[in-house]
């Protein structure tokens, strides 16, 4: 395709500010013109809509290779595009684990012509078993910028220290761009056997819980590790008030720390588990209202840098089991913006920062993703109608799985169009790939 495309009648919001303007993008994947009254070979209507840099999700499980019945890189990328994401960072807990360069290359190849720019993280330890460091340098050469054992945290203090020191020594391979270690904070000695958050609700249900401290002790340790090594740590899916407070203090002390929160941790409570519906089972678990309020405050005051989805598809065969036997995780890609827009009392500019340009910087994807919409910039763009109401349906999603905890929920804010490298991949809410 060698046609130009005009996005007409919208309001651009990016990291430089807000203005009413049309945008023309070209087949070379760049922005050709920004201004009033623009025309091109084709056009997309954006009247009443916000035109912004595409969203970047730091945390998705795409299940390929190994669990293609739950999701593939192609179906996950399509769901991401429908959710307004132009880039996603896949987690390495596939089968086999993404813990070496050939696995990184395989995932990147599978994502090449999909509806979203699919990048991958690499495991910190071999097989995510927490015993030996994975070959991080070869994975950096293959394109990895963020490492994590997500699904579990690195339990061994000494290994975590070594990983931070090693990662810090690899930035010569990336032209000085930092390599980030991301942590799923969970002390297994405290969480083992748990199915939900430990507190009043778990006691009354008789479901074994894990205390907030299972997360907080590892946040505390890793803050200490960052202080010791100077290493850069990104905290994944923060879920407790205590964690938010510690990250706030560590940032104030100048440590190189960033953090994300998932949509479910600011929209759902541990009380949801009283239904015994495994769709509400997730790691870290849904917490209390006080925790939800603290996450919202952290998002509002900049303590938490990014909204991530932790999109975790599971087949109905796996998820429709007892609460004890079902795997943890829930879908997130196609509902994230609407939930943030509906549930957070924040200006849309702040929501876009949390979903686009701030996570893009953490993943090392800026300015190709998250960069300002300006002539010569990359044309990775989302067009959103912030006022449009719709009802969530798992069946209607592009994901191969249907485990959304928001089934039937009315939300406000819909992705109308998504443009990837100058090509429309979602038009009027319909996927084109």
Residues annotated as catalytic are 310
Under 8 Å between Cβ of 130 and 139: no
d(CA 177, CA 273): 42
Q: Using omega within 30 degrees of 0 as the cis cutoff, is the peptide bond preceding 96 cis?
A: yes
Instruction: Select from 95, 103, 102, 92 the least CA-distant residue to 125.
Output: 92
Q: CA torsion 359→362→368→374, rounded to 10°?
A: 60
Beta carbon nearer to ligand DOR, 59 or 369: 59
Beta carbon nearer to ligand DOR, 329 or 405: 329
The nearest distance, CB 46 to ligand DOR, in angstroms, is: 35
The nearest distance, CB 328 to ligand DOR, in angstroms, is: 3
Residue of closest CB approach to ligand DOR = 329
Angle at 263 between CA 178 and CA 10, to 5 degrees: 85
Query: Residue 370 corresponds to which tokens in the numbers above?
Result: 């998250």
Beta carbon nearer to ligand DOR, 27 or 327: 327
Beta carbon nearer to ligand DOR, 264 or 358: 264
The nearest distance, CB 374 to ligand DOR, in angstroms, is: 37
The nearest distance, CB 211 to ligand DOR, in angstroms, is: 17
Beta carbon nearer to ligand DOR, 8 or 314: 314
The nearest distance, CB 51 to ligand DOR, in angstroms, is: 33
The nearest distance, CB 180 to ligand DOR, in angstroms, is: 17
Beta carbon nearer to ligand DOR, 190 or 346: 190
Binding site for ligand DOR (CB under 6 A): 61, 93, 150-151, 184, 282-283, 312, 327-329
Buried b (16+ CB within 10 A) or exposed e, 338-369: bbbbbbbebebebbbbbbbbbbbbbbbbbbbb
């Amino acid at each position: 395709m060698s046609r130009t495309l005009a996005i007409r009648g919208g309001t651009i919001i990016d990291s430089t500010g807000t203005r009413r303007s049309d945008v023309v993008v070209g087949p070379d994947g760049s922005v050709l013109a920004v201004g009033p009254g623009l025309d091109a070979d084709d056009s997309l209507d954006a009247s009443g809509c916000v035109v912004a840099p595409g969203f970047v999700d730091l945390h998705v499980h795409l299940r390929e290779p190994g669990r293609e019945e739950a999701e593939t890189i192609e179906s996950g990328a399509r769901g991401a595009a429908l959710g307004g994401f132009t880039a996603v960072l896949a987690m390495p807990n596939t089968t086999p684990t993404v813990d070496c360069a050939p696995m990184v290359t395989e995932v990147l190849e599978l994502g090449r012509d999909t509806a979203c720019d699919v990048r991958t993280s690499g495991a910190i330890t071999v097989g995510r078993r927490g015993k030996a460091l994975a070959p991080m340098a070869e994975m950096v050469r293959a394109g990895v910028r963020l490492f994590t054992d997500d699904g579990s945290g690195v339990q061994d203090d000494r290994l975590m220290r070594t990983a931070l020191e090693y990662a810090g020594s690899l930035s010569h391979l990336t032209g000085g761009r930092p390599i980030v270690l991301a942590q799923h904070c969970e002390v297994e000695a405290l969480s083992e056997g748990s199915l939900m958050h430990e507190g009043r609700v778990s006691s009354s249900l008789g479901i074994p819980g894990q205390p907030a401290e299972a997360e907080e002790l590892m946040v505390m340790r890793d803050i200490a590790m960052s202080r010791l090594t100077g290493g850069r740590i990104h905290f994944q899916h923060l879920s407790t008030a205590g964690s938010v407070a510690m990250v706030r203090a560590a940032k104030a002390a100048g440590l190189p720390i960033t953090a994300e929160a998932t949509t479910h941790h600011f929209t759902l409570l541990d009380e949801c588990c009283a239904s015994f519906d495994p769709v509400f089972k997730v790691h870290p678990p849904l917490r209390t209202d006080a925790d939800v309020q603290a996450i919202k405050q952290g998002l509002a005051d900049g303590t938490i840098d990014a909204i991530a989805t932790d999109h975790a598809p599971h087949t109905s065969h796996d998820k429709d089991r007892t609460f004890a036997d079902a795997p943890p995780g829930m879908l997130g890609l196609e509902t994230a913006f609407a939930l943030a827009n509906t549930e957070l009392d924040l200006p849309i500019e702040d929501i876009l920062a949390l979903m686009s340009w701030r996570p893009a910087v953490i993943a090392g994807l800026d300015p190709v993703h998250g960069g300002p919409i300006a002539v010569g910039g990359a044309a990775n763009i989302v067009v959103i109608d912030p006022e449009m109401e719709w009802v969530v349906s798992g069946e209607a999603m592009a994901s191969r799985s249907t485990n959304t905890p928001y089934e039937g929920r009315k939300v406000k804010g819909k992705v109308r169009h998504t443009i990837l490298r100058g090509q429309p991949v979602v038009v009027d809410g319909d996927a084109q790939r």
